[in-house]
Amino acid sequence: NQFFTNLTSLPEYKQYEPTILLQPKEDEQEPKKPWVVTLENFLSEEECDRLIELGYKEGYERSADVGEMRPDGTYGDSVNDGRTSENAWCQNKNCVDDEIAIRVVDRISSVTGVPDPNSEFLQLLKYEVGQFYQVS
């Protein structure tokens, strides 16, 4: 709760225009509702355009969930009808070393407090009209 309280109230995050869509009640020991917060100005138009471009360069594929673990410890993919988007991972040199992608990843790290080496690659999602991510 403290992370989201800080994100939505501290002056250093005001520039991102945080908007609370849902939050747990303060008196709940075990919240029944999660925090849902949008950061309306987290990305500039230039950053959005570049990330979209990088997504196409990386190659969008049907989004999949994590499947079963293989004998070598890696995981397979599991296509889910409740998730119809396409995604690309920013993991090739042209994306990982891109000046704008680096700036965005650094900002994510700064806001979340999670160092970049402790995060997975940046995931770029693409939704066409009618596509969705169904939350159960």
Same structural domain, 61 and 126? yes
Same structural domain, 69 and 101? yes
Task: Specify the pLDDT at position 44.
Answer: 98
Same structural domain, 55 and 6? no
Same structural domain, 73 and 34? no
Of 26, 42, 58, the residue at which a domain comes to its end is 42
Residues in the chain where the model's pLDDT stays below 70: 28, 31, 136
Q: Which helix (H) or strand (E) holds 6?
A: helix 2-9
Domain that holds residue 64: 43-136
- How many structural domains comprise the chain? 2
The number of CA neighbours under 13 Å toward the Cβ of 15 is 6
**Residues in CB range of 40: below 8 A, 6 or more apart:** 16, 17, 18, 19
| DSSP summary character for residue 133 | B
Same structural domain, 102 and 125? yes
Task: Specify the pLDDT at position 136.
Answer: 66
Same structural domain, 38 and 48? no
Q: What is the pTM of this model?
A: 0.84
Dihedral (CA of 82, 64, 116, 95) sign: negative
> Which tens digits make up the pLDDT trace of 75-113?
988 888 888 999 999 999 999 999 999 999 999 999 999
Same structural domain, 32 and 83? no
Same structural domain, 32 and 64? no
Q: What is the CA radius of gyration of the chain?
A: 17
